[in-house]
Structure formats: structure tokens, C-alpha cells
Amino acid sequence: MEKDIKFFTNGKRIDGRAIDELRNIKIEVGVFKRADGSSYIEWGGNKIYCAVYGPREAYPRFLQKSDRAILKCRYNMASFAVEERKRPGPSRRGVEIGKVTQGALEPALLLENFPKCMVEVNIEVIQADAGTRCAGITAASVALANAGIPMKELVPACAAGKVDDKIVLDLCKEEDNYGQADLPLALLPRRNEFSLLQMDGDLSEEQLEEALDLGRKGCLEVYEIQKEALKKKYVKEDVSNE
């Protein structure tokens, strides 16, 4: 819903960014001892943990697939993560985000290597500030790599959107709540295909093309940050093992 907000001042956005600029992103790899893989991401004001378990025997057993592992993705937002306290426990929004996260990550994984098994991804949003599904997918993909799950590629994610009739990258909270459109995207960079594409709001065909181009560019920047985070983790460990 659009509100009477001044989205641009001297060409800069509410938080001072250019239209094609991401918020600050920091990713840490391997933050939990008891998970097989884990990560922590700070993306603007978002703070999100991800823990991956598996591959291990799928349970309950009727879920098992004889030719591949199943991927379970759970997205949870803490009550204190948002401005107005969120009711604890499962929500329709959480179920939807878990489902689209699974769809975004699955094509990147070699699940056929692990018949009858499951890989579990747990995403915990501790502080939310718009774009948590994209930040969650980005963190989860790094945590899956940290767990040693065989993958074809990493999956970076990032939203594009429209405010004041302009296409912008990585919506902040006000832009997300009061802008004209929000387009969360996840990219399979080596195949140059999107594995997540949702749209909330209105875009013309040309604006959609422009948003997809900008979103792809954003995802490729996020991809570099993911690779750097993994390198930092493993290069450091190699040095300390010497």
C-alpha cells in the first residue's frame, strides 16, 4: 500500500542508497557446533541464523524417496524480531516462506546422491527488516555448503522492487511496506536461471524486465559475498591447522 512518503531526496533513497545499491551484508560460516552446517547473516537490519542437519535417514519413514533425499526447510521468525510483537509459533507466512525456500534451493543440490535421506534447513530470523526470505535463502545456501552437501552451485537471493515509479534494488522496510512492488528473486548463477520469483504489487512488462535485470545484478553481488565468506572460513582453518 502506498503512503505519503518521500522515497527519494537528491536522487538518494530513504537510507541514503543509490537505486542499484545493496544494503551492507555480512556472512559468517560455521557458527553452531551441533549442526552439520551453519551460518549467520546480517543484511541491513536483518539478523538471521541458519542451521543445516543431514543428510540423515528421513523420518517419518513414509516421507522417504527411494531415489533421492528430501529437503525440508523451516523458516521461523522470533516474536521480538519485528516492531509489533509477532505471535510465536507457526504462521501461514512462515509455511509459505519455508516452501519457497525449499523450491529455491533444491535445484542446486545433488539430492539424488542420498536416497531415503533428508536434509533439514532451519532458518531463524532474530531481527527482521524487510527481505528476510532472500537473506534466509542466501544464508541457507552457505550453510548447506558448510555441511558438505554436494551442490551444483550456491544460490544467492535478493529482491528488486518499485517505489515512486522507479525500479530499485533490495527494498528497505519503508520501501517494502509502502512501495508499489516487491520482487524477491533467487538465482542459480551458473545456469543463469531464477529458482525463486515472487511478485507483490504491479509492474508493467518493461518494468518487470528492468527489475529482473537489476535483481540478477544484485544476486551476482550477493554471490561474491557468499564465496568470500566460505573462503574466509576455510582459508583461516587451513592456516590454523599448519
Residue 220 makes contact with ligand CDP by CB under 6 A: no
23, 47, 162, 173: which one binds ligand CDP (CB under 6 A): 173
Q: Does 179 bind ligand CDP (CB under 6 A)?
A: no
Binding of ligand CDP by 47 (CB under 6 A): no
Scan for cell 538518494, then name that residue: 12
> Pattern of binders to ligand CDP over 77-106, x per CB under 6 A?
-----xx--x------x-------------
Cell 533444491, residue located: 106
Classify residue 229 by burial, with Cβ atoms within 10 Å: 0-12, 13-18, 19+.
buried
User: CB of 240: closest distance to ligand CDP in angstroms?
Assistant: 36
For position 156 contacting ligand CDP by CB under 6 A, the verdict is no
CB of 128 to ligand CDP, least distance (A): 4
Of residues 54 and 184, the one with the C-beta less far from ligand CDP: 184
Of 32, 27, 78, 76, give the one whose Cα is nearest residue 52: 32
The count of chain residues that interact with ligand CDP, using the rule CB under 6 A, is 13
Chain Cα centroid distance, residue 148: 19
The single-letter DSSP state of residue 90 is -
Q: Which of 40, 155, 176, 229 binds ligand CDP (CB under 6 A)?
A: 176
Q: Using CA of residue 136, residue 142, residue 147, residue 152, what is the dihedral sign?
A: positive
Considering the complex, state which of residue 173 and residue 233 has its C-beta at the smaller distance from ligand CDP. Answer: 173
CA distance 157 to 136: 9
Residue 199: count other Cβ atoms within 10 Å of its Cβ. Answer: 15
In the complex, least distance from residue 38 CB atom to ligand CDP, rounded to whole angstroms: 20
H or E segment and range at residue 209: helix 205-241
Residues 100-139: x where in contact with ligand CDP by CB under 6 A, - otherwise, as a string: ----------------------------xxxxxx------
Using alpha carbons, select from 80, 173, 164, 87 the residue that is nearest to residue 132. 173
| Backbone angle region of 131, left / alpha / beta, with phi > 0 → left and psi within -120 to 50 → alpha | left
Least distance to ligand CDP, CB of residue 218, Å: 14
Q: How far is the CB of 171 from ligand CDP (least distance, A)?
A: 7
Residues near ligand CDP (CB under 6 A) are: 82-83, 86, 93, 128-133, 173, 176, 184
